[in-house]
Amino acid sequence: MSSPISGARPEAPPLVSVAQRPLLGLLIRLHLHVGLLVGPFILVAALSGLFYALTPQLESRLYAQQLFTDNRGPTLPLARQVEIAQAHVGSAATLSAVRPAPQPGTTTRVMFNAPGLAPSESRAVFIDPVTAEIRGDLLVYGTSGVLPLRTWIDGFHRNLLLGEAGRLYSELAASWLWVAALGGLALWTIRRQRNRTSRVASTQRLRRWHATLGLCLLVGLLFFSATGLTWSRWAGDNIGIARAALGMSTPSVSTALTGQASAPASEHAHHAGMPMASAAPGDPALFDAVLAVARRAGIDACKLEIVPAAGPDRAWTVTEIDRSWPTQVDAVAVDPRSLTITDRIDFATFPLAAKLTRWGIDAHMGVLFGLPNQLLLAVTALGLITLVSWGYLMGWRRRAPVRSAGLLQALRDLSPAARMTTVTLAVLFGYCLPVLGGSLLLFLLAELALGGRRRIDREAAR
């Protein structure tokens, strides 16, 4: 036995405790599975998101003819601009909304529903508000009204241009991204002491870079995952149900009209125009009067959307659509018969969850803080691309056989209490995030099939 006098060093305590080793094994195997099987989908989402974040300025230059005008001076009534756009598209298209020119030098956007368009697409006619010249005719997408370039990139980012079925890819990436990020954090925490004391080989060095970059990107990756899930098909529906149950849904303005006119929006409401009882729901003559009522009611953002009534028993709506900071998304409903406000919503009164959802989506799209928001998204997307690439490089250098990464074996190695906790959490998250749960089940079934095939091969070789 060595003594202190001999100069021998006492044996160092294990860097990872016996209790931690099964958990470490499970985390490593889960991290490897996510990287190997979901990594390609995360990589595609990061690449397409990077291009989306960098396109607003390019789109402004590419579609400058449609978006901008050199003419300055008094603007024509919206009614005249709408009539010009309606004459241009003909009777086959139905007027759906108007976005007045937000500032001098920009165009008015008159939007139509037309046969053959996708559910969220509109045909937009761009009108010079000073001369009524038609500056362009393009398809635009969604409430953000993005133009064809970003519509294509957004479609690729969301569903690989495969329609509803393609949304599985983006939901798969968003469902597992937070697991990969938090799993990496847990691995780094458990291994931290060992990494500080061990010699650094080339593979270990790359792993250290991978871990460090993952820590730097952790908040951004969790943000991407959370906001992506909010938009997703199945998990997004569950999130919406949970928010509704908790009274945290985003409020919307009611367009229902009663038989009696509402109280006037102001004492001057009767000056807004002629009586409108006999006007058609989408009559161009109503746009200027409805806008004037909304302005007096406090709808003061430069970026607005006016939506005609869907029928004779419905109100028009005027909605602020400026989602930069500070957010302006207040809305009012206007009775076209009496030009009175029948309902309104104000962003200041939104539940906190609804505000966070609004800010999260706008930040995810790069519009909340403008250029700084875009650059932060681009840096995070580039970091995620690098992170996934380093993960594959580490796997290629190790050339570890796939059979070493067995989730089922790692699960069996856990203590009964830890195993029960792990299974319970997996079922809970699998229920709330159905694509995560379904893909995890597929991982396990594939592992069982491979294990059975290897047993058959071993028996045949005897």
pLDDT score recorded for residue 276? 38
Tell me the mean pLDDT per 10 residues along the chain, length 462.
45 49 85 92 97 93 97 96 96 94 97 90 97 97 91 95 93 96 90 57 79 96 96 92 86 83 39 40 88 97 96 94 95 96 96 92 95 97 96 78 67 91 95 96 88 68 66
Distance CA(415)–CA(413), nearest Å, equals 7
pLDDT score recorded for residue 2? 44
3-state helix, strand, coil in the chain (%, to 5): 55, 10, 30
The correct answer on CATH 3.40.190 for the domain covering 64-146 is: no
**CA of residue 8 relative to chain centroid, distance:** 59
**DSSP character string of 351-395:** -HHHHHHHHHHHHHHT-SSSHHHHHHHHHHHHHHHHHHHHHHHHH
pLDDT score recorded for residue 396? 83
pLDDT score recorded for residue 260? 45
Other beta carbons within 10 angstroms of residue 398's beta carbon come to 11
Residues 6+ apart with CB under 8 A from 49: 157, 224, 377, 381
- Are 315 and 333 in contact by the 8 Å Cβ rule? The answer is yes
Single out the residue of 360, 385, 383 nearest to residue 373, CA to CA.
Answer: 360
Other beta carbons within 10 angstroms of residue 168's beta carbon come to 19
Residue ranges per domain, the chain?
Answer: 64-146, 269-349
Distance CA(133)–CA(126), nearest Å, equals 8
Q: Is the dihedral of CA 144, 232, 218, 327 positive or negative?
A: positive
Distance CA(12)–CA(197), nearest Å, equals 11
Reported residue count of the chain is 462
Which residue is it, tokens 């080339």? 202
The strand order across the sheet containing 94-99 reads: 134-141, 121-127, 108-113, 94-99, 304-307, 316-320, 331-335, 340-345
